[in-house]
Amino acid sequence: MTPMQHAEAALAADAAHADAAIWIHRQPDAAILDRARTLEAEGPRGRPLWGIPFVVKDNIDVAGVPTTAGCPGYAYTPAVDAPAVRRLLEAGALFIGKTNLDQFATGLVGTRSPYGVPRNVFDPELVPGGSSSGSACAVAAGIVRFALGTDTAGSGRVPAAFGGIVGLKPTVGSISATGLVPACRSVDTISVFARSVDEALAVQRVIAGFDGQDPYARRPPYPHLRRSAALPAPRVAMADVAPLCEPAVAAAYRQACGFLNAAPIDISLFLESARLLYEGPWVAERTAALRDVLGRRPDVLHPTTRTILESGLDRRTVDAFDAFHTLRQARREAEHLFARHDALLLPTAPFCPSLAEVVADPLGPNRRLGTFTNFANLCDMAGYAVPIGFAPDGTPVGGMLLGPAWSEGRLAPLADALHRRFAATVGATGHPLPPPPPPDTLAADETALFCIGAHMSGLPLNGQVTGLGGRFLRQATTEPAYRLFALGNRPGLLRASGGGAVAGEVWALPTAAIGTLLAQVPPPLGFGTVALADGPCLGFLAESAGVADAPDVTRFGGWRAWLGTQAEGS
């Protein structure tokens, strides 16, 4: 599609959906069409988002457009774009408008706004989810292909679940927060809503980047936004959370766990840390961000927002240190979790409340919505919210795949497979999901490494590879010229006459990390050139003296097959 076709389609979809509460500011039709004509006249120029319409949550600055954060009395007009917005415009994206939100991004229901409540695209009696309500609804209704939101406690994931779309929660600090009205500054991140996992990842590739002016910005330890291929043996964790969920959510979650063959773990410490976001010192951080408004102009605040912010004034420092210690324990637990598993699968939200329920109890339903989302940023996780099924009434149920910081590219194929297993269309549009792209090929700053043992996916030492930025490329076999030996809990590969073909996996590893990984490999193992069926590749090899007395397991065709025979015999 051309920029003009994109623009006309967006305007038509907005008119057909007819929900003014999505918007706090919508660009005039003429301005949108004029910009589309300009983009079309310029041509793509290599810009990855050329002509694609997008919207921005109204707590993120767009030059010349008021930023309200859902509070008219707070409004200001920025002179410059937030870096994330600037990067999108430079990539050729077409700005449509700024969207509604729970005031100051304080809420998960999507109803705490003086600009109205965006309509849930599946059931107008239900909340749309928040705080990024307008952005999610704009994607779910087919007005735009992607939108910027924010995510502190789940604001980029809960409304994605209720709209049947994808919500990408990036690693905190990977996207500049300059030009973002803070909620909890230490754990805020700009987030992405999109039609599919890979479209969300493509947007993050554009907006991510270190910002020296943002004190919470972080440099990625490796290129983390390259898409892996689908893992042959993913290790996914789950938890017994059915008692916390409505029956339809529990049923959909059970099916998703079965699809990914997820293994149960205890997440009680994560659930405890989740409560800290609204019941611990991070409430005071919200209060600190809006101290001037609360002290001088409290009447401009939404009543529920004001209640929450005022509660931060009563927090005690001594309790804060208890919370900090609890969080450190939870972060260490997360390290152990992701050393053993590639991802944690949870429901995005335990239920979807009705508008009437929230009117009757403005705080209770909101608190429950954050059960599974609140801890992710506190525990330094990244993740995707994707549809995992539908309730009997036709409303979508969302699931969430979480991984450690900087795992967005590795999680993408797993999240995409989960999405496509349980949904075929985008939001409420009826439009088919866009096709998935192929995995990213080996980059110039990466080296292909052939793994034949415990460093393969699903096996105990795979974390040494992924922890250095490794990503799975493909399965492969050697030429029929090798012998495989069992050296206890790992194999040794040796080129030998009369050998056979040995199966393994090719991983892409940052070239700068090859030496670091080699330093973790004990003798008689090391790295050398391995002749694969499709060409030479760096890989694990053994010294001949080190395997002299070891059992020869070549006949099994690979280490994973050998392990299978041992499991059967145990």
What does the buried/exposed string (b/e) look like for 148-161 if buried means 16 or more CB atoms within 10 Å of the residue's CB? bbbbbbbbbbbbbb
Residues 252 and 294 occupy one common structural domain: yes
Residues of the chain whose pLDDT is less than 50?
A: none
Same domain, 498 and 416: no
Both 143 and 61 in a single domain? yes
Residue 285 falls in which region: left (phi positive, over 0), alpha (psi -120 to 50) or beta: alpha
Report strand pairing: 446-451 vs 535-542.
parallel
Confidence (pTM): 0.97
Shared domain for 379 and 451, answered yes or no, is: no
Beta 53-57 vs 396-404: how paired, if at all? unpaired
* Total number of domains constituting the chain: 2
Q: Which two tokens stand for residue 231?
A: 């893992």
Residue 194: which CATH number? 3.90.1300.10
**Strand 525-532 vs strand 396-404: parallel, antiparallel, or unpaired?**
unpaired
- Last residue within a domain, chosen from 375, 406, 422: 422
User: Does residue 231 sit within a domain?
Assistant: no
Residue 429 placed within a domain: no
Pick from 445, 506, 452, 461: nearest CA to 484:
452
- CATH code for position 476: 3.10.490.10
Residue 299 lies in a domain: yes
Answer yes or no: do 305 and 389 share one domain.
Answer: yes
Buried b (16+ CB within 10 A) or exposed e, 537-559: bbbbbbeeebbeebeebbebebb
Rounded Cα gap, residues 191 and 156, in angstroms:
6
Catalytic residues: 57, 131, 155
Residues 131, 198: one domain?
A: yes
Q: Are residues 378 and 492 in the same domain?
A: no
Q: Is there a single domain that holds both residue 346 and residue 454?
A: no
> Distance between CA atoms of 99 and 60, rounded to whole angstroms?
10
Exposure string over 99-138, b if 16+ CB within 10 A, otherwise e: bbbbbbbbbbbbbbbebbbbbbbbbeebbbbbbbbbbbbb
Question: In terms of domains, do 65 and 32 share one?
Answer: yes
Q: Is position 311 within any domain?
A: yes
Rounded to an integer, what distance in angstroms lies between the CA atom of residue 88 and that of residue 90?
5
Is position 148 within any domain?
yes
Whether residue 534 lies inside any domain: the answer is yes
Strand ranges, E, within 276-395: 343-347, 381-390
> CA 302, 306, 309: angle at the middle one, nearest 5?
140
What is the number of alpha carbons within 13 Å of residue 295 lying toward its C-beta?
Answer: 7
Domain that holds residue 333: 3-221+236-422
476 & 546 share domain: yes
Is 115 a member of any domain? yes
Whether residue 417 sits in one domain with residue 474: no
Q: Are residues 308 and 176 in the same domain?
A: yes
CA-to-CA dists, residue 64 to 45, 98, 99, 103, 287, angstroms? 26, 12, 15, 21, 28
Asked if the structure places residue 431 within a domain, the reply is no
- Whether residue 468 contacts residue 513, with contact meaning beta carbons closer than 8 Å, is answered with yes
